[in-house]
Structure 1
Amino acid sequence: MDVFGAVAEQYEHARPGYPPEITEAILAYHGGTPTSVVEVAAGTGKGTEVLVPLGAPLTCVEPDPRMAARLAERFPDVHIEVTTFERWSPPAGGAGVLACALAWHWLDPATRNAYARRALAPGGTLAVFGHRYDYADAAQRDAVRAALRSVDRTARERPVDWFHRDIVEHGQFDDVRREVFRRELPLDKERYLALMRTFGPYLARTPEQQRRGIAALDRLVDDFGGTVVLDLRTTLVLGRADAR
């Protein structure tokens, strides 16, 4: 996950935030203000923005010190622990809410559900949410995918709402629910390319592949008339850690 530290500032400015309805949905599911909230892999605080309004003491766990530094600038009242989720020690009695925004895939697949369950107090709430970036125009989607495949044919997308299935199938949580929020996000070429430069698959490629990919997208946006309209799908998955 340390690939993002080098682009922490760009990440903060380019990534879209989360709808405020996520705050309301967590409060309604939990049954009111929780005693405490822990956010796993908080990054620069995109998810933190909708967790602070929950009105509870908030701890953010973030392994990259550069991301954590940007997070501390934005949220000076939040307690930050610079460590991985796997090395972090939950509070005595467990957290009221454990949240993870667009980072569930960075946690160990073999242990993340069990660790999350153990980190929560009895009756506590798991809240995992994230964006899926698609295109409002199918022709734009097809053109972008073809351009990126020409640069690297190994790239693969995860299934839609894959983390909902992951949480259900591991069976650690009861009353698992899913809510989906959608909005169109028009971006000019500068903002679109800045966003693309913050994605993990881009950052994991060689400098030459990065250059070729951005050049191909630059030409495409010109062909689109200078604007890309994203279909931004935000999924929230909620689960309860009932006493066992």
Structure 2
Amino acid sequence: MPGRALSFGARAEAYEEFRPGYPAELADLVLAYAGRPVRTALEIGAGTGKATRLFAGRGITVTATDPDGAMLAELRRQMPAGVRILRAAFEDLRPGERYGLVYAAAALHWTEPAGRWSRMAGLVAPGGVFASFGGPVRLADPGVRAAADAARAPFLHSDEIPSPDGTPPEHDMQWPGTELRRSAWFADVRQSVVERRLTMSAADYVGYLSTVSAYLQLPEPVREQVFASIRRVLPGTVEIAADITVHLARRQPDR
């Protein structure tokens, strides 16, 4: 997975253009859970700053981290006030400053499993909040989705990332909530869903696919073939199901 994790920079401008941003409802949910003012936040895998802007817009001083310089260059072009930028992978971060909120937006699955939660605990202030959120962007119409899947199948079996710990999709608690519940450092683990439906042109939807890691790993000629095949079966405008699954947990007091 490291190759996939670092594949986005080549499409940084498209990532910014075609990836959906995050709604105000998401920030409301995280900050209500915090139950107290959040003044500082650390973002893991900030990318081009889709979630950075959401929380910086609430007056929080955000330290946005990402290992990909091209993604951070795009973030700098969009950067709101109150944001500090640090080029670093999660595994490179060292305990020191602790934050009232540490969050990852569609990025936690790229982090190394070994030592993930002890490292995370070293970054969150006691009583502070960890948040992870994201989810697949799918065609909402079953018939259109089936046609697009059939068009993709000769080139790529699936374009989604399976659960990192193998949790079946029908389980009530999904990853990373499953791991957080077992962690000695976090408590009050909650899972919520922010429902979201979007409408976009077929061209923009294919633009979105061009930022998905599964396609970025394909040789360019193959990638262009699969995009052309998918585009041919889509209507001019498509409805997208882009629900955001949110996991929240509270850092236990130091012992």
TM over 0.5, yes or no?
A: yes
Partner of 1:238: 248
Alignment counterpart, residue 228 of structure 1, candidates 231, 238, 243: 238
Unaligned runs of 5+ in 1: none
In structure 2, relative to structure 1, the CA distance for the partners of 1:218 and 1:99 (3 Å cut) is: same
| Counterpart in the other structure of 1:208 | 221
Deviations 1:162-193 (A, max 9, x none): 33334334454200111111122122121111
Q: Which residue of 2 aligns with 1:97?
A: 101
* Contact kept? 2:160, 2:214, Cα under 8 Å: no
Question: How far is the alpha carbon of 1:202 from its aligned partner?
Answer: 0.7
Amino acid across the alignment from 1:201? A
Alignment correspondent of 1:58: 62
One-letter identity of the residue aligned with 2:247: V
| Residue-pair matches, total | 240
Q: What is the Cα deviation at residue 153 of structure 1? A: 3.0
* Corresponding residue for residue 115 of structure 2: 111
Deviation at 1:90, TM superposition (A): 3.8
Q: Alignment partner of 1:43: what SS?
A: coil
Q: Distance in 2 between matches of 1:136 and 1:148?
A: 17
Instruction: Say if 1:130 and 1:171 are closer, same or farther in 2 by CA, change over 3 A.
Output: farther
Q: CA, structure 1 residues 166+209, in 2 after alignment: closer, same or farther (shift >3 Å)? A: farther
Distance 1:205-1:167 versus aligned 2 partners, 3 A rule: farther
Asked if structure 2 preserves the Cα contact closer than 8 Å seen for 1:44 and 1:68, the reply is: yes
Alignment equivalent of 1:85, drawn from 81, 90, 94? 90
Q: How does 1:1-244 map to 2 (within 5 A)?
A: 1-75=5-79, 77=81, 78-92=83-97, 94-153=98-157, 157-159=161-163, 160=169, 161-170=174-183, 172-221=185-234, 225-243=235-253, 244=255
In the alignment, is the contact (CA less than 8 A) between 1:101 and 1:128 conserved in 2? yes
Q: Residue type matched to 2:175 in 1?
A: W
Q: Which moves more between the two structures, 50-59 or 174-183? A: 50-59
What percent identity do the matched residue pairs reach? 33
Measured at CA, do residues 90 and 54 of structure 1 come closer, stay the same or move farther in structure 2, by a change above 3 Å?
A: farther
Q: Per-residue deviation at 1:20?
A: 0.6
Superposed CA deviations along residues 2-57 of structure 1, whole A, max 9, x for unmatched, are 21111111100100011111111111111122231100110100111221133222
Specify the code of the residue in structure 2 equivalent to 1:141: R
Unaligned runs of 5+ in 2: 164-168
TM-score, normalised on structure 2?
Answer: 0.87
Distance 1:141 1:114, change over 3 A: farther
Task: Say whether the 8 Å CA contact 1:8–1:70 is kept in structure 2.
Answer: yes
* Equivalent AA in structure 2 for residue 132 of structure 1: P
Q: Distance in 1 between matches of 2:179 and 2:222?
A: 31
Paired with 2:155 and 2:197, the residues of 1 have a C-alpha distance of 27
Q: CA deviation at 1:145?
A: 1.8
Q: What is the TM-score when the length of structure 1 is the normalising length?
A: 0.91
Cα gap change, 1:169 to 1:144, in 2 (>3 Å) = farther
Secondary structure (helix, strand or coil) at the match of 1:44 reads: coil
CA distance in 2, matches of 1:44, 1:102: 12
